[in-house]
Chain A
Amino acid sequence: MIKKILITLITTLALTVNVSASSDGELLLKKNNPAEIKECWEGFNRASFALNQGLDKIIFKPVASVYRTLPTPVKSGVSNSLDNLSNVVTIPNNILQGEFGKAGENTVRFIINTTVGILGLIDIATLIGFDEYEKEDYGQTFAFHGIGPGCYIVLPVLGPSTARDAVASVTNFVGGDAWYNVTVQNDTHYFRDFDYYASKVTAGVDFRAKNYDSLENLEKNSIDFYASVKSLYLQDRQQKILNSKVITDTQNDSDWEEIED
């Protein structure tokens, strides 16, 4: 089944790849515009979304509700530590996107936070004035090099993605994620497989806890929760790909002008 999904993803991605690589902001914006991203497998996606909602209700939500009652320094420590660990994926992606300065800065950030910041529990780098940390992944790098998102997909357990991002994430398991390499891929005697999976589950719980009220609120006030989550995910993804916090870069004014007539 997983093999089948992967083949379908790769095929659809291959059909949507724009070989002429481009980093032009406008093209990047257009290609990753949530309204342009096709819904090719709505039946599968809605079923997968329902499965994820079920898993959320019986696992993630109860665990997150306990997690959020922990003292703030504990939660911040966990969150900082996970962010610090994600540098091992962010740094190669900074390089692959030609952001050598950022790669250098994140390397220094990783060294400082891992050592002085006690395995990343304290974000010393930010305290001493480093820029706000921005995660990068292989999906963002694929997008940067002009690959279109392909169709929207909801992966069982893992949640919303696009064909491009799902395929790109395979890179993590073929050498692109140093944390995976030292825990699961190679027997280093220092780490176990459990460490990798525990970090991923904790990241999921941390995300769920941070968005606990927002997700409750969103579900309660949506007329189509699936469509709301899809829209928010794709807007967020577009923003991350553009590396922009300037909202006028991602908001389309022509949509609003249309209602003037």
Chain B
Amino acid sequence: MIKKLLSIIFILNLFTNNIAALEADIFVQSTVNRASELLSENITKEEKIEKLKMIAKDTVDIKGIGFYTLGATRKNLSDSEKKEYLEKFEDYFLKSFSSRLAEYTNPEIDVYGKEVLNKNYTIVNSTLKATSERPEIKIDWRIYTKNQDQPLIRDLIIEGLSLARTQKEEFASVLSSNDGDINALFKTLEEFSNK
């Protein structure tokens, strides 16, 4: 009897674990489908942008990207500066991300593979289908899988070019042009978000 009970518990445990862990590639495909559905809706660009922001908040690790983008400078910031930075970065990121995507109408993305790098990261491979105006584009997604129940996007690598890395170098350039003054970066982020 005990053996039987133990077996049932073991099988149930296996089953629930499998349900809880969301596979990175399935997560990407469902996120893409969600965005694609939204982009093909007959609504205004502003409405699309607002809805895309909601999707980004659910699926992108904005805080993680924010700290990555800041690079080594993060270590020199006080807690209040970090808090202020993250608030400004989120506004900047959501605006930049949603207005980039809102330009596309009905993008078709096919997820075709994945590579588990370690317990924290999986790279998911996909292609954005060609249109009459541009060729097919290869997009790889860096998925943060530390919490397997809730994977999050940390980077988009388009034709081998990392957006997070580009953003990081852009932020470094703003900081170095202003003698490393974080307030100058805050001002630039604010100006971007308000334009």
Contact = CB atoms under 8 A, between A and B. Distances in A.
Contacts of A84: none
B157 A251 contact: yes
Nearest to B154: A256
B98 to A, nearest CB: 10
Contacts of A236: 159-161
Interface residues of A, number: 35
Contacts of A221: 96, 99-100
A235 B162 contact: yes
B169 A227 contact: yes
Contacts of A210: 134-135
Given A217-B103, A259-B64, A230 B117 contact: no
Contacts of B142: 251, 256
A253 B68 contact: no
A191 to B, nearest CB: 29
Contacts of B140: 247
A251 B162 contact: yes
Question: Which one of A220, A223, A228, A239 has the highest number of Cβ atoms from chain B below 10 Å of its Cβ?
Answer: A223
Q: How big is the B interface, by class? A: 35 or more
A231 B168 CA distance: 9
Given A217-B103, A222-B170, A256 B165 contact: no
A6 to B, nearest CB: 27
Contacts of B64: 259
A223 B169 contact: no
A237 to B, nearest CB: 11
B116 to A, nearest CB: 11
Contacts of A35: 169
Contacts of A224: 170, 173-174, 177, 188
Contacts of B189: 223
A226 B154 CA distance: 24
A235 B161 contact: yes
Contact of B170 (A72, A212, A223, A250): A223
Interface in A203-261: 210, 212-214, 217, 220-224, 226-228, 230-232, 235-236, 239, 245, 247-248, 250-251, 253, 255-260
10 contacts: A72-B132, A213-B103, A217-B100, A223-B171, A224-B173, A227-B173, A230-B173, A248-B117, A255-B165, A256-B120
Given A223-B174, A251-B142, 19 more contacts: A34-B169, A72-B132, A221-B99, A223-B188, A224-B170, A224-B177, A227-B172, A228-B170, A230-B169, A231-B165, A231-B169, A235-B160, A235-B165, A247-B140, A251-B157, A251-B162, A255-B168, A256-B120, A259-B64
Interface of A: 34-35, 68, 72, 210, 212-214, 217, 220-224, 226-228, 230-232, 235-236, 239, 245, 247-248, 250-251, 253, 255-260
